[in-house]
């Protein structure tokens, strides 16, 4: 199904723009700023605050004279279980050092100790190279980049992407605003809509970051790469979507079971720590994150982690006196729209950046604090590539029409999809449960093809497409690697040290 909604662009309110950026996280904002600095006129379309704002930990960068981008590269490859695209990863660690300077140029104030950066260690890093702003690094970056967007007079539209228009070449898009559909005729679109971890019952993602942007691109013809790799954050406050940053474990916090025993090296990569917690929970124990050892090291929790301490105390938990109940939760979608190192997709005129993409830099498991780095590095690169490409892209005067008269209702809800994905496609997977998930998803897929072409059903359809791609990837990868763990294939297999590609024709036909 190429288009889901019923529309006729000749009857819709129409706007024109050379370049539209859909999403206002670090990748989208960086691309907008650089394009404007290069003399172009991007238009920013956003449905609100996304994951960048909520990022607590920091941004990795090999800035210290005793560190090096090469060591950062080795740490990233090790965490990614050597599935990383080495060319893209070299770009990440080398260009990342330069992009830190751009962030400061745009107003970001990283913590310092005297003149030097105050850096910290996070899981998987062999050197304290994570720059931070207390425990609200993402909020600092988001607010300063948004302020720069305003200073540069980059227009910002509030709305939600619904359809990407065009066959072999992008010709425009449809978005919704205040219940109405609108048409933008454009030369190029940069997709920066975030990841799809919210399709699991337990997630750290805000409700507006649903992953349906990946599904829209999939319908437009873009392939999804490595969708089986979903990173589960080890420490989300039980009963909420509020994560407790890995930085607290970097500073020396312990993970303990109901008996008060430590059961894992807290600075192992996230997949190892998350599965260790999951295995304790399976035995009807609880898991707690204990910040009290930090006090013994002379760390003032309120000063170092003001955001975390504040939201814990709002919920009646005093981390200075008691351990914090935690569970793993889906946090970061490592797979995504397949792009090259300049953010280009297989559809001419369609680019993508950030968590909605798979650049290959994370391999099978994202190294902590590499995601903000990926957003700024590849946001910069996509802007420079598009500065050159836009001269060859033409606007089309054609109109687009898709008439669907369906009246059915979906045979499921988003909450049911989240429960299915958590139970069958979560931290531990096996062939039998994955096949059950696939059968259920395909049944729901058929019901959605007959469903009313509403915005709500379109959202559900595109999330379902991403879920199906995730299951297809998990079924095809008959090994355990990084965050993808198969209990029926519990070891890495060299024959599977390759990427997974799910093409639209595998699912949509």
| Predicted confidence (pLDDT) per residue in 164-190, tens digit | 999 889 999 999 999 999 999 999 999
CATH 3.90.700.10 fits 234-330, yes or no: yes
The fold of 9-227+336-392 is FAD/NAD(P)-binding domain (3.50.50)
Q: pLDDT grade, residue 509 (50/70/90)? A: low
Q: Residue 54: what pLDDT?
A: 79
> Residue ranges per domain, the chain?
9-227+336-392, 234-330, 406-506
Mean pLDDT of 54-63: 88
Overall average pLDDT of the 58-79 stretch: 96
pLDDT, mean of residues 219-234: 96
Q: Which residue has the higher pLDDT, 505 or 207?
A: 505
Helix axes 26-37, 137-151, angle to 10 degrees: 30
pLDDT above 90 covers what percent of the chain? 82
pLDDT of residue 421: 97
Residues with catalytic annotation? 270
**Against a cut of 0.85, is the pTM above it?**
yes
Q: Which two tokens stand for residue 29?
A: 């904002």
pLDDT over 80 at 507, yes or no: no
Strands (DSSP E) found in 107-201? 112-113, 116-117, 130-131, 156-158, 160-165, 172-177, 180-191
Average the pLDDT over 429-440 and give the result.
98
The owner of tokens 């990748």 is 27
pLDDT of amino acid 62: 96
Q: What is the CATH number of domain 406-506?
A: 1.20.58.100
**9-227+336-392 and 406-506: same fold?**
no
Given CA atoms 263, 269, 274, 275 in this order, what sign does their dihedral have? Answer: negative
Q: Are 79 and 365 in contact (CB under 8 A)?
A: yes
Q: For the segment 80-119, what is each residue's pLDDT rounded down to a tens digit?
A: 999 999 999 999 999 999 999 999 999 999 999 988 999 9
């Amino acid at each position: 199904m190429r288009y889901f909604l019923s529309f006729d662009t000749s009857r819709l309110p129409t706007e024109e723009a050379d370049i539209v950026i859909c999403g206002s996280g670090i990748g989208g904002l960086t691309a907008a700023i650089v394009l404007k600095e290069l003399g172009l006129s991007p238009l920013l379309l956003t449905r609100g605050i996304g994951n960048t704002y909520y990022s607590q930990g920091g941004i990795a960068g090999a800035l210290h004279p005793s560190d090096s981008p090469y060591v950062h590269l080795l740490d990233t490859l090790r965490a990614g279980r050597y599935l990383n695209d080495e060319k893209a990863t070299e770009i990440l660690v080398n260009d990342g050092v330069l992009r830190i300077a751009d962030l400061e140029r745009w107003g970001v104030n990283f913590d310092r100790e005297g003149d030097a950066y105050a850096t910290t260690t996070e899981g998987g890093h062999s050197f304290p190279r994570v720059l931070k702003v207390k425990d609200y690094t993402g909020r600092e970056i988001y607010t300063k980049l948004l302020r720069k967007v305003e200073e540069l007079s980059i227009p910002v539209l509030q709305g939600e992407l619904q359809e990407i228009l065009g066959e072999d070449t992008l010709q425009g898009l449809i978005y919704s605003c205040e219940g109405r559909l609108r048409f933008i005729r454009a030369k190029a679109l940069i997709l920066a809509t975030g990841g799809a971890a919210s399709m699991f019952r337990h997630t750290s993602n805000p409700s507006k970051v649903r992953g349906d942007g990946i599904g829209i691109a999939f319908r437009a013809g873009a392939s999804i790469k490595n969708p089986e790799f979903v990173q589960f954050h080890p420490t989300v406050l039980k009963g909420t979507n509020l994560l407790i940053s890995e930085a607290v474990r970097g500073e020396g916090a312990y993970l303990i079971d109901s008996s008060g025993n430590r059961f894992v090296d807290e600075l192992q990569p996230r997949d190892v720590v998350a599965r260790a917690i999951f295995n304790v929970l399976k035995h009807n124990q609880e898991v707690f994150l204990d910040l009290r050892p930090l006090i013994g090291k002379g760390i003032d929790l309120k000063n170092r982690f003001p955001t975390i301490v504040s939201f814990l105390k709002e919920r009646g938990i005093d981390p200075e006196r008691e351990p914090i109940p935690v569970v793993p939760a889906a946090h970061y979608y490592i797979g995504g729209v397949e792009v090259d190192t300049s953010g280009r997709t297989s559809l001419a005129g369609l680019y993508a950046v950030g968590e909605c993409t798979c650049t290959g830099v994370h391999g099978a498991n994202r190294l902590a604090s590499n995601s903000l780095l990926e957003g700024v590095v590849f946001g910069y690169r996509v802007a420079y590539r598009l500065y050159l490409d836009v001269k060859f892209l033409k606007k089309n005067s054609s109109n687009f029409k898709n008439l669907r008269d369906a009246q059915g209702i979906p045979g499921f809800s988003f909450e049911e999809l989240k429960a299915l994905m958590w139970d069958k496609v979560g931290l531990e997977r096996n062939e039998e449960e994955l096949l059950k998930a696939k059968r259920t998803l395909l049944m729901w897929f058929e019901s959605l093809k007959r469903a009313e072409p509403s915005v709500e059903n379109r959202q559900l359809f595109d999330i379902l497409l991403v879920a199906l791609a995730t299951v297809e990837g998990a079924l095809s990868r008959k090994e355990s690697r990084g965050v993808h763990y198969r209990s029926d294939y519990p070891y890495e297999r060299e024959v599977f040290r390759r990427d997974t590609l799910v093409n639209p024709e595998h699912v949509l036909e």
